[in-house]
Amino acid sequence: MYDVVIIGSGPAGLSASIYAKRAGLNAVTIEKSPFSGGQVVNTYEVDNYPGLPGINGFDMGMKFREHADKLGCEFLTANVSCIRKKSEKENLLQAASVNTCGAEEEVFLIETNQGIIESRTVVAAMGAVHAKLGIPGEEELAGMGVSYCATCDGAFFKGRTTAVIGGGDVAIEDAIFLARGCEKVYLIHRRDELRGAEILQKELKSLSNVEIIWDTVAEKIEGEDQVETLMLKNVKSGEQRNLSVDGVFVAVGILPESMLLRDIADCDEKGYVVAGEDGVSSMPGLFVAGDVRTKKLRQIITAAADGANAITSVQEYLLRGKK
């Protein structure tokens, strides 16, 4: 029986692991692959985390993990399929046979492909995944020129022409990154103003091989075995045009990885678990941290802070239970 099971090993999960260990809690962190690391590992450069200017995202993820390993945090590589509270019947059965878990104690069962784990609390830090455009050709040509990660796949497009779709931090960072190797990069944005940070916009606009196509949406991606053409439409004039490109990088935001939580905790219309800075969700004993929760600013630093806050809430919850 764990005090806390932390699900996810991005900055929020790893920060929660570190805080849980230092608080003397019996904790395990579940990650999908031996080193998940979260979205940060696919970021070329992180320049807004105090004390680590310009650090490579992968190196940063490694540093977080090394810190947790150094403290002796426990990790388990597994896929979680269900998170639920143990039913009264299950509690009574166990109390009668083993006499360890009192029938009155609320326990979470975390079902995984490595077995069922029992815990008094859960910190859900599953983060978010890339949103899709949902246009013809996107799915068919995924991995054949359509990508959601410039730092992972950008090197394949050295000396070639690519398009980035989106206007947020990720789209701008992707375009800047691609411009270092590509002959030409188009940034296609549906409005006439970018959403991403001013400092990134300034850098982007200074690059001679980047062209921003404003007020434009992608309608279709075409190609035989590889991306060849991107069909565009200007949302103001209605004018359509075809752009010859070798790669399309989709950066139109993120979707919370909250499927496992939607039946047990309140979520907003976009699927983010409703919780404040303390990570307290609508289900007692379930805490959320990082990109999966409702919040204004989704950054590495706010995710790391969430992990720390969630463990503080876990400690308060466990103490209340002992009184």
Binding site for ligand NAP (CB under 6 A): 48, 133, 165-171, 173, 190-191, 195, 217, 251-254, 298-299
How far is the C-alpha of 252 from the C-alpha of 39, rounded, in Å?
15
How far is the C-alpha of 74 from the C-alpha of 294, rounded, in Å?
28
CB of 170 to ligand NAP, least distance (A): 3
Distant-in-sequence, close-in-space partners of 142: CB < 8 Å, separation ≥ 6: none
CB of 166 to ligand NAP, least distance (A): 4
Nearer to ligand NAP, 150 or 165 (CB): 165
CB of 169 to ligand NAP, least distance (A): 4
**Can you tell me whether residue 210 is helix, strand or coil?**
strand
Helix count (H) and strand count (E) of the chain? 7, 17
Nearer to ligand NAP, 5 or 165 (CB): 165
How far is the C-alpha of 111 from the C-alpha of 113, rounded, in Å?
7
Pair 87, 101: CB distance under 8 Å:
no
CB of 31 to ligand NAP, least distance (A): 20
Task: Tell me which residue has its CB nearest to ligand NAP.
Answer: 168
Nearer to ligand NAP, 13 or 285 (CB): 13
Pair 41, 159: CB distance under 8 Å:
no
CB of 75 to ligand NAP, least distance (A): 25
Letter for the amino acid at 108?
Answer: F
Question: What are the backbone dihedrals phi and psi of residue 53, each rounded to the nearest 5 degrees, phi first?
Answer: -60, 135
Nearer to ligand NAP, 127 or 285 (CB): 127
How far is the C-alpha of 2 from the C-alpha of 25, rounded, in Å?
8
Nearer to ligand NAP, 166 or 223 (CB): 166
CB of 294 to ligand NAP, least distance (A): 12
Distances (CA, A) of 316 to 7, 266, 288: 19, 21, 15
Nearer to ligand NAP, 10 or 279 (CB): 10
